[in-house]
Amino acid sequence: MWSLIVAIVIGFVAGLIARAIHPGEDKAGFFVTAALGIAGSLLATYGGRFLGLYPEGSSAGFIASIIGAIIILFIYNLIAKKS
């Protein structure tokens, strides 16, 4: 449970940093960016566990969370441009 809370908090900050790093114009607001960052952090955490990079019960690191948030933000922008 604690690792999930840590992943959410790290993801919130990672989403803000990912938005600053990600090139292009973002039309996503603050809350959408934070949610995408949290999703990226959870992606990095559970994806890393699935690949064997992290032991069970640990969360992804800060850099991995930022990378996950950038990936989610990139996918979000591709979907948002089509609609």
Q: What is the pLDDT of residues 49-68, one digit of tens each?
A: 888 887 877 766 778 888 88
* Higher-pLDDT residue of 1, 35: 35
**Distance in angstroms (rounded) separating the CA atoms of residues 63 and 7:** 12
Q: Is the pLDDT of residue 23 over 70?
A: no
Band of pLDDT at residue 4, cut at 50, 70 and 90:
confident
Q: Enter the pTM of the model.
A: 0.74
Q: Which one, of 81, 3, 82, lies nearest residue 42 by Cα? A: 3
Domain ranges of the chain: 2-82
